[in-house]
Amino acid sequence: MMTRRRANSGILATAAVAGVSAKGAPPMLEPRELPAPQTSGGMPLMAALKLRHSTREYSERSLREVTVSNLLWAAFGINRSSGDRTAPYWRHIMVIDVYVAMADGVWLYEPKAHALLPYLSSDIRAQTGTQDFVSTAPLNLIYVAHGERMQDIPPTDRRLYASVDTGFIGQNVYLFCASEGLVTVFRGAVDYQKLAGAMKLPDQQFVTFAQTVGYPRD
């Protein structure tokens, strides 16, 4: 029987060969298998809800790998053997990808392998939003929708459903951050054209929102 790690390395190898990186991107970073998420513990739900809030002042301190792992699992990881996720999604069609912009580049969260696949090797944090803190906060999530998977509905509806899917993920991130002493803000103040350009997104894909995560400024 194939172990989870072997299965994962298969996915990672395939992803690397398939060129998950943007067209024309410089030589790739290696895929990063994340530590297994810690899916027990944390704060009681009602306590986390009491603490949930948006923050616009961040420390530059980077997040530990285990924290990134837990964050991404909470955001939109797989929580059942069916492969379904911690957030609900439209028509059971996987429309949203979660990208992670950090100082060392942009990574695509791959929930099956629970890994980060290299996407861009440049620091585009400053381009993930129009507010100053985005360039120095350690991590910005970028939510990208696959419009080509929503062909049978009009473009305005595509944005609507993709935004709703994203909102559920965003709230998972808020609650995780509240529970872990991290801070976050869900963001629509994004220059969408500029960010799509920086990410070299294919025509049919579009950014719905972004979300900054980090530690509070001291």
Ligand X SMILES: Cc1cc2nc3c(=O)[nH]c(=O)nc-3n(C[C@H](O)[C@H](O)[C@H](O)COP(=O)(O)O)c2cc1C
Assess contact for 56 and 133: CB atoms under 8 A. yes
Query: x/- contact string, 102-131, with ligand X (CB under 6 A)?
Result: -----------------------------x
CB of 118 to ligand X, least distance (A): 27
CB of 8 to ligand X, least distance (A): 34
Q: Which is nearer to ligand X, 10 or 216 (CB)?
A: 216
Strands (E) across 63-192 are located at 96-102, 105-110, 115-120, 139-146, 183-187
- 4 burial via Cβ count (<10 Å: 0-12, 13-18, 19+): exposed
Q: Which is nearer to ligand X, 86 or 212 (CB)?
A: 212
Residue 58, CA distances (Å) to 86, 186, 194 in order: 26, 14, 23
Interface segment toward ligand X; rule CB under 6 A; list 23-31, 53-61, 76-84, 141-149: 53-61
Q: Taking CB under 6 A as the rule, does residue 56 contact ligand X?
A: yes
Which residue of 5, 53, 64, 112 would you call a contact of ligand X, by CB under 6 A?
A: 53
CB of 84 to ligand X, least distance (A): 24
Q: Which is nearer to ligand X, 188 or 216 (CB)?
A: 188
Collect all residues with Cβ–Cβ distance below 8 Å to 162 and sequence separation of at least 6: 90, 95, 96, 145, 147, 150, 206, 208
User: Long-range contacts made by residues 14-19, C-beta under 8 angstroms, separation at least 24?
Assistant: 15/110, 15/113, 15/117, 16/117, 16/118
- 210 burial via Cβ count (<10 Å: 0-12, 13-18, 19+): buried
CB of 27 to ligand X, least distance (A): 34
CB of 58 to ligand X, least distance (A): 12
Q: Taking CB under 6 A as the rule, does residue 188 contact ligand X?
A: yes
Q: Which is nearer to ligand X, 53 or 61 (CB)?
A: 53
Q: Taking CB under 6 A as the rule, does residue 93 contact ligand X?
A: no
**Which residue, judged by CB position, is nearest to ligand X in the bound state?**
189
Q: Taking CB under 6 A as the rule, does residue 194 contact ligand X?
A: no
- 119 burial via Cβ count (<10 Å: 0-12, 13-18, 19+): buried
Residues that bind ligand X in the complex, under the rule CB under 6 A: 53-54, 56, 131, 185-189
